[in-house]
């Protein structure tokens, strides 16, 4: 494979990763929207569409392995392909957590929410922003932008703790809310984990650009 062909393949790989990232971001949005609006059809769509993310994950992984085998890249090129492998793995896990949230909506079907959802949608918006930021940093090879994910992740963690404390009060005051409150805590936990995976994307971008291993999830 010539250098020109290698660059063309890397560009195509980048497009595929952005496509997968867009799917994941939409899945997060739709999963929480389905929960807030009690939209079972939308929740089922999130679950069905996970197959698309899974297929993209495998396709991108195979392309990365082919590039490694055919080009045998060194240094920066090796980090670029290796980062792509890591990024799609984290994106796939985010998609799985969106499915987990959609499944909660199905389990709670027919039940009115014990409280309006406020902080959970905020968590979803923050994690969507993190995914967009991480992928922009990846495309632009911007390590500084990738590092900013740590700050947003702290916000997501704060919101999770807030949701946990509030729902715990509901459970203590009215045992009838325990089942639903527990499910909602799980939803917040899934979003918190999505935030962690988004910081992983940032860490891999920093590594790709600088060769430095950093921990943005502290």
Summarised one tens digit per residue, pLDDT across range 150-193 is: 999 999 999 999 999 999 999 999 999 999 999 999 999 999 99
| Interacting residues of 198 by C-beta distance below 8 A, sequence separation 6+ | 90, 94, 127, 130, 131, 133, 134, 149, 152, 153
Which of the four CATH numbers 2.70.240.10, 2.60.120.470, 1.20.58.220, 3.40.50.720 does domain 3-210 have? 1.20.58.220
What does the pLDDT read at residue 5?
77
Higher local confidence (pLDDT), 5 or 157: 157
Check pLDDT > 80 for residue 3.
Answer: no
User: Six-digit token pair at 25?
Assistant: 């971001």
- Residue closest to 163 by CA, chosen among 118, 198, 99: 118
Q: What pLDDT is stored for residue 74 in this prediction?
A: 73
Query: What is the pLDDT averaged over residues 121-146?
Result: 96
> Could you read off the pLDDT of 30-42 as tens digits, one per residue?
999 999 999 999 9
Query: Which residue is associated with the tokens 């063309």?
Result: 8
Tokens of 27: 């899945």
For the ranges 9-13, 110-114, 116-120, the one whose mean pLDDT is highest: 116-120
Rounded to a whole number of angstroms, the CA Rg of the chain reads 19
Packing angle, helices 119-140 and 3-37, rounded to 10? 170
């Amino acid at each position: 494979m010539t250098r020109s062909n290698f660059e063309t393949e890397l560009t195509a790989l980048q497009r595929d990763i952005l496509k997968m990232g867009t799917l994941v971001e939409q899945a997060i949005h739709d999963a929480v929207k389905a929960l807030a609006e009690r939209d079972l059809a939308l929740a089922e769509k999130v679950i069905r569409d996970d197959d698309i993310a899974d297929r993209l994950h495998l396709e991108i992984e195979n392309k990365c392995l082919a590039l490694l085998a055919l080009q045998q890249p060194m240094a920066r090129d090796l980090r670029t392909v290796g980062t792509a492998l890591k990024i799609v793995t984290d994106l796939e896990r985010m998609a799985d957590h969106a499915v987990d949230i959609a499944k909660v909506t199905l389990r709670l079907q027919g039940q009115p929410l014990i409280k309006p959802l406020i902080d959970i949608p905020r968590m979803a918006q923050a994690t969507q922003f993190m995914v967009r930021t991480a992928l922009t940093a990846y495309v632009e090879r911007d390590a500084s932008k990738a590092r900013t994910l740590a700050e947003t992740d702290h916000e997501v963690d704060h919101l999770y703790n807030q949701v946990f404390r509030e729902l715990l009060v509901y459970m203590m005051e009215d045992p009838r809310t325990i089942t639903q409150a527990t499910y909602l805590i799980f939803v917040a936990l899934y979003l918190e984990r999505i935030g962690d995976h988004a910081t992983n994307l940032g860490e891999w971008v920093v590594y790709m650009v600088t060769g430095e291993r950093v921990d943005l999830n502290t």
